[in-house]
Chain A
Amino acid sequence: ELKVEQNPLFLSMQEGKNYTIYCNYSTTSDRLYWYRQDPGKSLESLFVLLSNGAVKQEGRLMASLDTKARLSTLHITAAVHDLSATYFCAVDSTSGTYKYIFGTGTRLKVLA
C-alpha cells in the first residue's frame, strides 16, 4: 500500500528560525507536489518536483526531492508569521490514474 508520511505533524517555531519538514513515501513515484493550506481555505500549489535532485525555491521556502531515498524536504528559512499554515506533500499514485496520495499534513505555527 502506498503511504506518504510527513513529519512533524505539528511545528511551532519562533520567527527568524530555520526548520525542515520531511515527506517520506513508499513507492517509486518520481513526481512530488507541495501544497499550502491556510485555515478555512483551500489548497494552494507551492512546488512541483519532477525528478531526482530537483530543487525549487520561492521566497523563504525551498523544496527538494531525493527519489532514491523516497524523501522530499520543505525547508523554511528565517520563518515569518505569514508562513503559518498547513503544508501537504503528495505523490502520484502508481495505479496508472491521475490520483494523488496525500501526506498527513504538517501544521506550522510561527510565533512572533
Chain B
Amino acid sequence: DVKVTQSSRYLVKRTGEKVFLECVQDMDHENMFWYRQDPGLGLRLIYFSYDVKMKEKGDIPEGYSVSREKKERFSLILESASTNQTSMYLCASSLSASGGAQSYNEQFFGPGTRLTVL
C-alpha cells in the first residue's frame, strides 16, 4: 500500500514564525502536492512538484514556499506564519501517468496537519 506520512497531525505556531511541514511518501512517486482545506472553500492547491528540485505554483502559492531535495520528501514552508494560514494542510503523491488510454494519476493523501497560527 502507498503510504504518505506528514510530520505532525497538529501544530500550533505564533504569528511571524517560520513553519516547516514535512511530507514523505514511500512508493517512489514522481509527483507530490500540497493542498490546504478550509470550510466552505474545498481543497486548494498550493504547490506541486513533478520531480526532485522541480516545483510549480498551484492556485494559492502566496505566503508559501516548497522544497524537494529528495524524491520521497516534499516540504511546505511558511516563511512568516499569519493567522489566515490557520488551516488543514494535506500532502498527496502520485505516479506519473505513462500515457495512453489507461494511464491515470491517482493521488494518495497523507493524514493531514491541522495548523493553528495564533
Instruction: Identify the A interface with B (CB < 8 A).
Output: 31, 33, 35, 40-45, 48, 50-51, 88, 90, 92, 97-100, 102-105
Contact of B101 among A35, A51, A99 (CB under 8 A): A51
Please state if B112 and A42 are interface contacts (CB–CB under 8 Å): yes
- B56 — which chain A residues lie within 8 A by C-beta? 97
List, sorted by A's number, 13 A–B pairs whose CB atoms are closer than 8 Å: A31-B104, A33-B106, A40-B114, A41-B111, A42-B112, A43-B92, A48-B104, A48-B106, A97-B48, A98-B97, A99-B48, A102-B43, A104-B42
Please state if B42 and A92 are interface contacts (CB–CB under 8 Å): no
B84 close to chain A: CB less than 8 A: no
Whole-angstrom distance from the CB of B69 to the nearest CB of chain A?
Answer: 20
Please state if A42 and B110 are interface contacts (CB–CB under 8 Å): yes
A99 to B45, CA, bound (A): 8
* Residue interface bits B2-23, CB-to-A below 8 A is 1, else 0: 0000000000000000000000
Given contacts A48-B104, A98-B50, A104-B42, 9 further A-B contacts (CB under 8 A): A41-B112, A42-B109, A42-B112, A50-B101, A50-B104, A51-B101, A51-B102, A98-B96, A100-B105
Whole-angstrom distance from the CB of B106 to the nearest CB of chain A?
Answer: 5
Which A-chain residue is minimally distant from B104 (CB atoms)? A31
Instruction: Identify the B interface with A (CB < 8 A).
Output: 31, 33, 42-43, 45, 48, 50, 56, 58, 90, 92, 94, 96-97, 101-102, 104-112, 114
Contact of A105 among B31, B42, B48, B101 (CB under 8 A): B42
Given known A-B contacts A98-B31, A98-B50, A98-B97, A92 and B109 have beta carbons under 8 A apart: no
- B109 — which chain A residues lie within 8 A by C-beta? 35, 42-44
Closest 8 CB pairs of A and B: A43-B109, A42-B109, A98-B31, A42-B112, A102-B43, A98-B105, A42-B111, A31-B104
A44 to B114, CA, bound (A): 17
Which B-chain residue is minimally distant from A44 (CB atoms)? B109
- A42 — which chain B residues lie within 8 A by C-beta? 90, 109-112
- A33 — which chain B residues lie within 8 A by C-beta? 106-107
